Structure 1
Amino acid sequence: MNSTASTVTSGPPVATVLRGESADSIHRAREATRAFTGGLIPAPDPAVADTLVLVVSELATNALRHGGGHYTLELSASPDTLAAAVSDPSPATPRERTPDLNDGNGGFGWHMVRHLTSHLTITPGPGAGKTIHAQLPRLRPSPTS
């Protein structure tokens, strides 16, 4: 595991990188995300930090299950945003499917990721694979009146 925790005041974003190849790596990805957000100054909104942990967990799980069995996670932050980029060796883009409410075979993750993020893109590479970039605002948006 290659990771660094840093602070953000101004200037370029800081990053944490983690590689995963097993189901245990999902837990490590969640822990690394918690450590990453916990080390940021100023601290992000706690609800946004929890949301980033959930998004990372879903993207890493999908990369293991559907993206070729391993992934690279890169976490970054700027003064206004938190971001996660998950790369895997499969060129296939995620597809939304009907959630399986009876047998527990999934179908919730991609829909959830799309709903929870403020910006989501998929880019080709590295190699023949893809990278999914998910972004959240650092502060929880104010409720509208």
Structure 2
Amino acid sequence: MNFDGASGCIAAARDATSAFLDDQALPAHPTFHDDVLLVVSELVTNAVRHAPGPLIFRLTLLRDRIEIIVRDTDHRTPAARTPGLDGGRGWSIIHTLACDVRVFPHHDGKTVRAEMAW
């Protein structure tokens, strides 16, 4: 899915994720659905907050996990920071819930890929 990068795309990504998970009816652990929604929210929120312009969001079912992809226009690699009133918790939440997180730089930004086992 392509999004314009405005704040409304965070809710749209969550809605699309929820529909995708409901449609797949995965035999997942009890908190899987909520955990995936949280990781999607954090990844898309980071892209909206830190990258100007459009972003690409994609979900893919793999053999025993789900792949979450967010591609944005910011060249900076995400990094953990001290939590405060202005945020700083998202990157550590993503790393806690996902079994694999990788960042791939591109000439026009980066792709963040998180995989979550079900």
Report the equivalent of 2:98.
117
Q: Which structure has the larger Rg over C-alpha atoms?
A: 1
CA contact (8 A) 1:85 1:131 kept: yes
Decide whether aligned partners of structure 1 residues 42 and 96 sit closer, same or farther in structure 2, where only a CA change above 3 A counts: closer
Higher helix share: 2
Of 88, 91, 108, which aligns to 1:107?
88
Report the equivalent of 1:131.
111
> Which amino acid in the other structure matches residue 66 of structure 1?
H
Report the equivalent of 1:8.
none
Q: 2:92 & 2:26 partners in 1: Cα distance?
A: 30
Q: Aligned to 1:97, what secondary structure does the other structure show?
A: coil
Report the equivalent of 2:5.
21
Report the equivalent of 1:96.
80
After superposition, the C-alpha distances for 1:38-72 in whole angstroms (9 at most, x for unaligned) are 11144533411211110010000000111224321
CA contact (8 A) 2:17 2:59 kept: yes
Q: Aligned to 1:83, what secondary structure does the other structure show?
A: strand
Q: 1:95 & 1:48 partners in 2: Cα distance?
A: 24
Q: Aligned to 2:83, what secondary structure does the other structure show?
A: coil
Specify every segment of 5 or more residues in structure 2 that has no aligned partner in the other structure, as ranges: none
CA contact (8 A) 1:74 1:85 kept: yes
- Superposition pairs of residues 27-42 of structure 1, within 5 angstroms: 27-42=11-26
After superposition, the C-alpha distances for 1:54-99 in whole angstroms (9 at most, x for unaligned) are 0010000000111224321100112311110000011100011100
Decide whether aligned partners of structure 1 residues 97 and 42 sit closer, same or farther in structure 2, where only a CA change above 3 A counts: closer
After superposition, the C-alpha distances for 1:12-63 in whole angstroms (9 at most, x for unaligned) are xxxxx34242111111110100001111144533411211110010000000
TM-score (norm 2): 0.91
TM-score (norm 1): 0.75
Q: 2:28 & 2:22 partners in 1: Cα distance?
A: 8
- Does 2:46 correspond to 1:62? yes
Higher relative contact order (CA 8 A, sep 6+): 2
Identity across aligned pairs (percent)? 34
CA contact (8 A) 1:21 1:71 kept: yes
Which segment drifts farther, 54-63 or 72-81?
A: 72-81
